[in-house]
Structure 1
Amino acid sequence: MSFSNKVIWITGASSGIGKSLAIELSNQNAKLILSSRKMAALELVKKACKNSSNVKVISLDLEDFTNLKPKVDEAISAFGTIDILVNNGGISQRSFVKDTKIAVDKRLMDINYLGTVALTKEVLPHFIKNKKGHFVVTTSIVGKIGTPLRSSYAASKHALHGFFDSLRAEHFKDNIAVTLVCPGFVNTNVSKNALTGDGTPQEKMDVATQNGMLPERFAKFMAKAIKNKKEEVYIAGAKEKLGVYVKRFFPKFLSIMIRKLSVT
């Protein structure tokens, strides 16, 4: 599959993985719709793309998940269709279960899970009508493995796997593909923006995140996974990938390993 002239809608496109993926896909001649809450940042991403005339920006707040249909209509009208929806928008967490207010749990689920699901459900009829489409979802390695300080974040990402695995099975005959992309540590602002127990941003970068894969490199792997319509892919360091397989075959051993992780 070539990305040339494919219409690809990316949420969470103002920074990090979304921004790098947008630039990578623009270099492969895709037509892009870029969304997030930060319009000024989106305009900068648009300017960084290869052909800005093939880039449309649309403001989008996933937390406002009951009002997404007008955004979908606007996205479809931008180029007349949508070929691929990249559900990349979301927010992370850094707090112990005992210190996390239930309002924070709710906000993580509203943005990461319900926002993504609501947007997907609004786009789905368009894909069914066209008898083709591709949902790409940025989940996480913690969508497979729960780790300390990320309880609600992990829960929201686990939930995405359940939903999109079901959607894939239901709409296989409609020629609709689903790719679940599980990042490990990527050097973005995700940890700076992560919510603490009282709902305020952490405002500092984790060491592991700082030492993570560069988003530009990550985007190349992600684009390849999308092109090949992989069902699930782990784009991460060796230790993170190993954890997924240890969880599958030796879950008790992984539990012991996770207990020893630094949580400071």
Structure 2
Amino acid sequence: MTFNNKVIWITGASSGIGKSLAITLSNENCKLILSARRKAELEKVKALCKQPENIAVLTLDLAETETHASIAGDAISLFGKIDILINNGGISQRSPIIDTDIAVDRKLMEVDYLGTVALSKALLPHFVANKTGHYVVVSSLMGKFSSPLRSAYCGAKHALHGFFDALRLEHSADNIKVTIICPGFVNTDVARNALTSDGSKQGYQDHMTESGLDVEVFVKRMLKAIKNEKYEAYIGKFEILGVYVKRISIKLLHKLVLRSKVR
């Protein structure tokens, strides 16, 4: 698969991975739709991209699922079709379970899981009618195994795997692809923007995130996985070993995660 002549819709495109995806893909012969809540920030990203005439900005709040059907229609009308939806938008969390208000768990599910599911379902009839389409879901290694202080985030990301594995099975005959990307630590503002126990932002970077993969390096590997139509791709440094350790022994993984003191 190539990106040639494709229309690619990216959520969470105002910063971090989404921003880097937009800038990198603007070098390809494709058209881009950039979505996030902040239009001004999306316009800044568009200004950094090549071929701005091939880029459209479309505001979207993942938590407002009742708007997704209408917004999906607007997205299709921009260039006449959608070939790839990159579900990148979302938020993280850093707080102990015992201290975390249930509203925080609900917020993570509404944005990271239900928002992504609602948007994908809104676009599904278009993919089925065209007998082609590719969902790319930015999950996390936390969608494969868990770590302390990320309970709501882990729950939402695990849920994404269950839903999109089912979608892949149900629509294989419609030539609809699903690629789930599982990042490890990537040096973005995800930790700064993570919600704490009362729903406020953490506001600072943590050491492991700061020492993670450079976002441009991550995006290059991610785009390679999309081109190869991988079912899942684990992208990071040493932390990706957790996926394979879990297959051998959950108890061993438990001990290794505790020993790592990742917080």
1:22 is aligned to 22
1:182 is aligned to 182
2:220 is aligned to 220
> Partner amino acid for 1:33?
I
What do residues 196-247 of structure 1 show as CA deviations (whole Å, max 9, x unaligned)?
A: 000000000011111111111111111111111110000110x211111001
Which sections of structure 2, spanning at least 5 residues, go unmatched? none
Equivalence map 1:129-148=2 (5 Å): 129-148=129-148
> Partner amino acid for 1:262?
K
1:259 is aligned to 258
CA root-mean-square deviation: 0.9
The CA distance in 2 between the partners of 1:103 and 1:177, in whole Å, is 33
The CA distance in 1 between the partners of 2:5 and 2:119, in whole Å, is 23
User: 1:87: Cα distance to partner?
Assistant: 0.3
The CA distance in 2 between the partners of 1:73 and 1:188, in whole Å, is 31
The CA distance in 1 between the partners of 2:99 and 2:169, in whole Å, is 38
1:2 is aligned to 2
Equivalence map 1:168-207=2 (5 Å): 168-207=168-207
Q: Is the 8 A contact 1:12 1:89 kept in 2?
A: yes
Q: Is the 8 A contact 2:208 2:262 kept in 1?
A: no
Identity of aligned pairs, percent?
59
The CA distance in 1 between the partners of 2:186 and 2:258, in whole Å, is 23
1:240 is aligned to 239
> Partner amino acid for 1:192?
R
| Paired residue secondary structure (2:233) | strand
The CA distance in 1 between the partners of 2:96 and 2:16, in whole Å, is 25
> Partner amino acid for 2:35?
S
1:12 is aligned to 12
Q: What TM-score, normalized by structure 1, do the two folds share? A: 0.98
What do residues 52-81 of structure 1 show as CA deviations (whole Å, max 9, x unaligned)?
A: 000000000001112211110110000000
The CA distance in 2 between the partners of 1:125 and 1:97, in whole Å, is 38
Q: Is the 8 A contact 1:24 1:223 kept in 2?
A: no
User: 1:28: Cα distance to partner?
Assistant: 1.5
Equivalence map 1:31-50=2 (5 Å): 31-50=31-50
Equivalence map 1:63-78=2 (5 Å): 63-78=63-78
The CA distance in 2 between the partners of 1:210 and 1:67, in whole Å, is 35
Q: Is the 8 A contact 1:85 1:136 kept in 2?
A: yes
1:250 is aligned to 249
Moved over 4 A (4+): none
The CA distance in 1 between the partners of 2:205 and 2:93, in whole Å, is 12
Moved more, 1-10 or 195-204: 1-10
The CA distance in 2 between the partners of 1:259 and 1:148, in whole Å, is 8
The CA distance in 2 between the partners of 1:119 and 1:175, in whole Å, is 19
| Paired residue secondary structure (2:154) | helix
Q: Is the 8 A contact 1:83 1:133 kept in 2?
A: yes
What do residues 2-27 of structure 1 show as CA deviations (whole Å, max 9, x unaligned)?
A: 21220000000000000111111111
Q: Is the 8 A contact 2:16 2:215 kept in 1?
A: yes
Q: What TM-score, normalized by structure 2, do the two folds share? A: 0.98
The CA distance in 2 between the partners of 1:154 and 1:86, in whole Å, is 20
Which sections of structure 1, spanning at least 5 residues, go unmatched? none
The CA distance in 2 between the partners of 1:44 and 1:30, in whole Å, is 19
| Paired residue secondary structure (2:180) | strand
> Partner amino acid for 1:59?
T
